[in-house]
Chains A and B, each alone.
Chain A
């Protein structure tokens, strides 16, 4: 590596022609390198997005499971309503005041966190800011009181907030934060704290995914209480208690607030459903979290009772029948109890729905609207149709409905008011813009629509607006314009997928209503990474996530490979390999381009398909389980964790064997996975390490966390962490 000083100027003895040829070579070679880097960056992005949206689709499945559980789950302990009912089907309308006993909660002397008093003042918000910077946690009493006050305030607000720039300097609009406290603090640092001179709009998705969702949302609500005229919050699709179950907010709250967690979550549920859904500036700019559909009706949106839509994923029961949940896959009759007495949305006799067998095509009137809001989640092709096993504790009258024989020809009644209202809100919170014209169901996410430039144009024209600002999608530069500049996406969580993956941004808007963009990137590493390094880091992370997906679908994949490899050579062609992956995983990714990272080639150029599974493995020694049971556990690990956490009422980390068995049976029945009872019993017995009838599910689930064997350091440190867990 010569890096010496060259004292003399280099004499050019090359001919001009040689020089030119050499230059061309270098230029082309270098540009090709940059182009390949760009392609890697793009497919890395694709991987992250596909997996993210596939996860959101799984969410639909989880919530329909909860509905199923609610219909079939008998209370095992028999004392009082359990968390499931409370979380999923609250009797209380959020409009009404819950009994919050925050007043009775006393703050111990030993509490060193921030203390606040109501009504809030600037010193309180400053105290919160410095406390959170110091990693302190706000006491449950203050949290409850804060939420209580926020709820009171939000009840007074309309669904659509109208703002004007005439009296203020400039309005700042921020997008998704997803629990990233660092990004919020950076915005406040760069742009100023919320105040009369610095009004803010936060466009939803404050929580989930990031580790500091509680702190983020406390700050936002605190400023809302402090400056109700200068601080505005729109609801996002993650301000939804069912999303929270899966994406981390519920868990974070439970971990930070062991005693009062449930109460806090209930209040959050109310508050989230009371958040306004849209903001309009100067009657010219519309700000919503997701987007619009061809059915979006701002007048209707303004008039509905928004708090009635608690969760986008708790769709009105009526819709459940029209939902094509893998209709071609389900043989069994999907029943819904017509006796929905514990549901706040009660239906009259007229809405008793018949059974729908797999073959029927229902003349679903709700999809007579040009763009149905809810579409079928992608069900893995291997899930075979099963009839639900009737366990002794399930009352039969819940599974049956009167019209057993009537099939396709029964016309379904027109969608009730509630369903239309629900759809309006779901569209606003979940839709994404697309370049193609028209409006199509958003199959990627499983909810909302894809809306084209014509839809945007029509809506803006109809309401004499000039711009739509939305969030909901992560963008490389933190923002993006589309639809000929009429739609702006603004995203404020930098490094969302991975360190260096993207910037965050916010918009400043003055009287002239010309948006100005400010970008930033929170970086934990002080060293500036080059583009190559950033791409490599992000790519590595994406590929690991992808490999885990492969691992979790191992038997399906192997079965499909073996169909092409009848002679059991262990190899298939690249084309066959790509076809199998696409059909099993259903992630629209460039498989051939990714091939070198995922699998080895044999000398003859064919793919050794088993090599994908070589460097991933379970996190701890697996209990003795049948292979397909193991895989199901890997795949639904997150869902199971959520379910177990719900069942574990006292947050001890333990659930009883009976609870485990019952839940597992229900879950696998719902999924249509054939697991026989003896396998479950064996599993339960084997993981009851203490033989005392209770299961430490954290340890159990640890076995089903996928690790990459090459990543020794991570394994070691995780194991150390586990040991510290009491």
Chain B
């Protein structure tokens, strides 16, 4: 995690040099992602684009304050440079499977490979970057717990990481 953090700090402090932080090929990829997010094709990602993107991700009731906060983080309207600075990292790179598994294992102290659905909900919705209830529901729809209410997190992690890996080739 450390190298990433360093990069982030550097990026925050030097917006104009943000292009030098990434390789040309990466920048082109981000540009494409930017275009995909910029639904009305005006060259800026505005509140509506952000809100739509959140909505598409299942977060339907994003508070205006939240969006404003995100926009405040940006030095101005979110054009491509700003986007690169703020979101570039979030779109690239995946934490390896081990890391995520260990994160789940923190809560699975008995090492059973499953967690109670209610416990997972509590864990993810009440702390840190809280999940909304819609997001939890989405997760459980895609990865349903068994009849006893157990979520097989190993399976979940495997499918997400390997499903993605396969698609990314």
Residues on A facing B (Cβ under 8 Å): 1-6, 10-14, 18-36, 38-43, 46, 435-436, 530-532, 573-575, 578, 590-593, 596-597, 600, 605
Q: Is the interface of B mostly helix, strand, loop or mixed?
A: helix
Complex partner residue of B114 from A2, A25, A34, A605, CB under 8 angstroms:
A2
* Bound form: Cα–Cα A30–B53 in Å: 15
**For A20, what are the chain B residues with a Cβ–Cβ distance below 8 Å?**
127-128
Known: A6-B110, A14-B109, A32-B94. A27 touches B28 (CB 8 A): no
**A596: which B residues are within 8 A, CB to CB?**
167-169
Q: Does B124 contact A (CB under 8 A)?
A: yes
CA distance A656 to B123 in the complex (A): 74
**In the complex, are the beta carbons of A35 and B57 less than 8 A apart?**
yes
B interface residues (Cβ-Cβ under 8 A, vs A): 24-25, 28-29, 32-33, 35-37, 40-42, 53, 56-58, 90-91, 94-95, 99-100, 102-104, 106-110, 112-116, 119, 123-124, 127-131, 135, 138-139, 141-142, 146, 148, 150, 152, 154-155, 160, 163-164, 167-169
Partner pick for B107 among A1, A14, A530, CB 8 A cutoff: A14
B138 cross-chain contacts in A, Cβ below 8 A? 34, 531
The reply to whether A592 and B25 form a contact with Cβ atoms under 8 Å apart is yes
Shortest C-beta distance, A422 to chain B (Å), equals: 30
| Given A19-B127, A38-B53, 11 further pairs, Cβ under 8 A | A1-B155, A3-B114, A10-B107, A13-B109, A22-B102, A23-B124, A25-B95, A28-B90, A32-B90, A39-B33, A592-B28
Cα-based distance from A13 to B110 in the complex (angstroms): 10
Residues from chain A with a CB closer than 8 A to the CB of B103 are: 21-23, 25-26, 29
- Beyond A10-B119, A596-B168, whether A590 also contacts B36 by CB under 8 A is yes
Chain A residues with Cβ below 8 Å from B104 are: 22, 26
The CA-CA distance from A476 to B126 in the complex, in Å, is 33
**B65 vs chain A, min Cβ distance (A):** 19
A575 close to B40 (CB less than 8 A): no
B128 lies within 8 A of A24 (CB): yes
Q: How far is the CA of A309 from the CA of B160 in the complex (A)?
A: 54
Minimal Cβ-Cβ distance residue in A for B115 = A10
Beta-carbon nearest neighbor of B129 in chain A:
A27
Residues of A close to B135: CB separation below 8 A: 30-31
Residue contact B58 to A34, C-beta cutoff 8 Å: yes
**B90 and A23 contacting across the interface, CB-CB below 8 Å:** no
User: Measured between alpha carbons, how far is A37 from B159 in the docked complex, in Å?
Assistant: 13
Choose one: A10, A21, A24; the contact of B116 (CB below 8 Å): A10
Name the A residues within 8 Å of B37 (CB-CB): 39
User: Bound complex: CA of A29 vs CA of B150, how far in Å?
Assistant: 21
- Cβ-defined partner of A19 (8 Å) among B28, B57, B106: B106
With both beta carbons as reference points, the residue of chain B lying nearest to A40 in the complex is identified as B167
Of chain A, the residue at the smallest CB distance from B119 is A10
Pick the residue among A1, A39, A436, A605 that contacts B42 (CB under 8 A): A436
Expressed in whole angstroms, the minimum distance between the Cβ of B150 and any Cβ of chain A is 6
B129 pairs with A28, CB closer than 8 A: yes
In Å, the complex CA distance between A457 and B15 comes to 40
List chain B residues, Cβ under 8 A from A22. 102-104, 106-107
Expressed in whole angstroms, the minimum distance between the Cβ of B88 and any Cβ of chain A is: 13
Asked whether, in the complex, the Cβ of A10 is within 8 Å of the Cβ of B108, the reply is: yes
* Least Cβ–Cβ distance between B94 and chain A, in angstroms: 7
Cβ contact within 8 Å between A2 and B163: no
**In the bound complex, what is the Cα–Cα distance between A573 and B94 (angstroms)?**
24
Q: In the complex, what distance in Å separates the CA atom of A14 from the CA atom of B124?
A: 15
Structural contact, A575 and B25, CB atoms closer than 8 A: yes
User: A413–B168 Cα gap in the complex (Å)?
Assistant: 57
Between B42, B130, B148, B169, the greatest number of chain A beta carbons within 10 A of the residue's beta carbon is seen for B169
Instruction: List 21 A-B pairs, Cβ < 8 Å.
Output: A3-B148, A5-B150, A10-B116, A14-B106, A19-B127, A22-B103, A25-B103, A27-B124, A30-B139, A32-B90, A32-B94, A33-B160, A34-B58, A35-B53, A35-B57, A36-B91, A436-B40, A575-B25, A590-B32, A596-B169, A605-B25
Q: Look across to chain A and name the residue whose beta carbon is closest to the beta carbon of B53.
A: A38
Name the residue of chain B whose CB is nearest to the CB of A588: B35
A592 in contact with B57 (CB, 8 Å): no
Question: When the two chains form their complex, are residues B150 and A36 in contact, meaning their CB atoms are under 8 A apart?
Answer: no
- Closest residue of chain A to B123 (Cβ to Cβ) is A23
**A6 touches which of B114, B139, B142 (Cβ 8 Å):** B114
How far, in angstroms, from A188 to B147 measured CA to CA in the complex?
38
Inter-chain contact A10/B32, CB cutoff 8 Å: no
Interchain CB contact under 8 A, B163 and A592: no
Q: Decide if B169 touches A597 in the complex (CB within 8 Å).
A: yes
B138 to chain A, nearest CB (A): 7
- Which A residues are in CB contact (< 8 Å) with B57? 31, 34-35, 38
* Contact partners of B107 in chain A: CB under 8 A: 10, 12, 14, 19, 22
Is B129 within 8 A of A10, CB to CB?
Answer: no
Q: A6 CB to closest chain B CB, in angstroms?
A: 6
- Taking CB atoms, residues of chain B closer than 8 Å to A532 are 142, 163
Residues of A within 8 A of B99 (CB): 25
Of all chain B residues, the one with the shortest Cβ separation from A25 is: B103
- State A43–B99 Cα separation when bound (angstroms): 29
Closest to A539 in B: B167
CA distance A340 to B91 in the complex (A): 60
Residue of B with least CB distance to A605: B25
User: Looking across the interface, which residue of chain A has its beta carbon closest to that of B28?
Assistant: A592
Q: Which of B24, B95, B119, B141 contacts A575 (CB 8 A)?
A: B24
A29 to B97, CA, bound (A): 10
Contact A42 B150 (CB under 8 A): no
Q: Which residues of A contact B131 (CB under 8 A)?
A: 27
Chain A positions within 8 Å of B90 at CB level: 28, 32, 35
Give the shortest distance, in Å, between A451 (CB) and chain B (any CB).
14
- Closest CB of chain A to B122's CB: distance in Å? 10
Are the CB atoms of B129 and A24 closer together than 8 Å? yes
A535 nearest CB neighbor, chain B only: B167
